[in-house]
Amino acid sequence: MLLESEVDRSYTVAEEAKVKREIPHTIIPRPTQLKQERIIFGASTIVPFLGLILAIALTWYSGASMVDWGLFLGMAIISILGIEVGFHRLFSHGAFQTTEPVRAILAIAGCMALQGPVTYWASNHRRHHAYSDRLGDPHSPYVKNNESLGLLAGLWHSHIGWIFDSERTCPGRYGRDILKDAMLAKIDRHYFIWVLLGLAIPAILGGLLTWTWMGIFHGLVWGGLLRIFLVQQGTYAINSFCHAIGTRPFQSRDNSCNNLWLTLPTLGGSLHNTHHAFPNTAVNALFWWQIDPGAWFIRALEFLGLAWDIKVPSAEAILLRRRKGAIAAKNTAPNKF
Ligand SMILES: [Zn+2]
Ligand SMILES: [Zn+2]
């Protein structure tokens, strides 16, 4: 007779096999839906860019105050934590466990970064890991559909171009656990409310802290639009530059790289070669001289009793993965999926 745990495991394996057999990797939306999505994706890209131009104009006209900088930095840290600690390490990889309220806060904070709902983000990211830098990767700088990409075209595609592809990662295959999670599904359904909240909070604070109408406008631009633009660029740079330039201390089957210069703006996300070598790790800084504010935040949650089951690779695993000898060749060979 099977033990209870064995019954559960065999069911999961059978279910997994069924999903792999029956659910496609990607789907192509109907033309009207595709058009609507492209308008939303376009607005999500262009409106924050307008925020950059407005911030430059406002600074030129009246300078930037401490309130402007404070709202920008405060909202940036909240939304990057939402993306890197929430969407990425927690929801995409299960790198640690935490309470329901902390999960909800991280999910909402990530939505404020205007990079799509949790299911969309995590599904694309998991497909990226499944096919990193090979055919099937949604945003590799080396390959798109069946064609190899040159340097500039590859950087453009991996940074931002892929968002407008007509193929969509199938959430039924890559995000089933998130779709089944009632709380995350509810947060996803109200995605645009959280985006608006991420604009309203700095605008209201700007008004209250300066008691002027211009304070509201400055708060909206600095803590809202400019912040979204720069946080988006940080995440997108991990997809583009961190698969093109940087150091590769660990063996991985892709061209992921670590970039220290991006560590602070991505709160540790740019230690991307380390991440590809150990996708489930909650801590990307595996050497004393590396900086990983995302891991500091997870450790702070642990200290408060709010995080547990924090995954970190063992010393033996780290040693085994250290790269020896020559740089690995680019793995761009088309690989049908
Ligand atoms: Zn990657
Ligand atoms: Zn990842």
- pLDDT, residue 4, reads 37
Give dist(CA 208, CA 186) in Å, integer. Answer: 31
| Distance (Å) from CA 234 to ligand 2 centroid | 15
Give dist(CA 254, CA 330) in Å, integer. Answer: 7
**Closest-approaching ligand to the CA atom of 131:** 1
| Distance (Å) from CA 299 to ligand 1 centroid | 24
**Mean pLDDT of all residues in 188-207:** 98
**Mean pLDDT of all residues in 90-118:** 97
| Distance (Å) from CA 216 to ligand 1 centroid | 38
Q: What is the pLDDT of residues 151-171, one digit of tens each?
A: 899 999 999 999 999 899 999
**Residue 90: count of CB within 10 angstroms of its CB:** 25
**Mean pLDDT of all residues in 62-80:** 95
Q: Is the pLDDT of residue 335 over 70?
A: no
Q: What is the pLDDT of residues 169-195, one digit of tens each?
A: 999 999 999 999 999 999 999 999 999
Q: Is the pLDDT of residue 197 over 60?
A: yes
Q: Is the pLDDT of residue 249 over 60?
A: yes
| Distance (Å) from CA 128 to ligand 1 centroid | 7
| Distance (Å) from CA 242 to ligand 1 centroid | 7
**Mean pLDDT of all residues in 208-213:** 96
- pLDDT, residue 119, reads 97
Instruction: Tell me the whole-structure pTM to 2 decimals.
Output: 0.90
Percent of the chain surpassing pLDDT 70: 91
Which of 4-13, 178-187, 318-327 is predicted least confidently? Answer: 4-13
Q: Is the pLDDT of residue 329 over 60?
A: no
- pLDDT, residue 333, reads 34
**Under 8 Å between Cβ of 321 and 278:** yes
**Residue 80: count of CB within 10 angstroms of its CB:** 28
| Distance (Å) from CA 243 to ligand 1 centroid | 6
CA 279 to chain centre: 13
| Distance (Å) from CA 258 to ligand 1 centroid | 10
Ion ligand 1 nearby residues (CB, 5 A):
256
**Closest-approaching ligand to the CA atom of 95:** 2
- pLDDT, residue 63, reads 85
Q: What is the pLDDT of residues 11-41, one digit of tens each?
A: 467 767 777 777 888 888 889 999 999 999 9
| Distance (Å) from CA 291 to ligand 1 centroid | 19
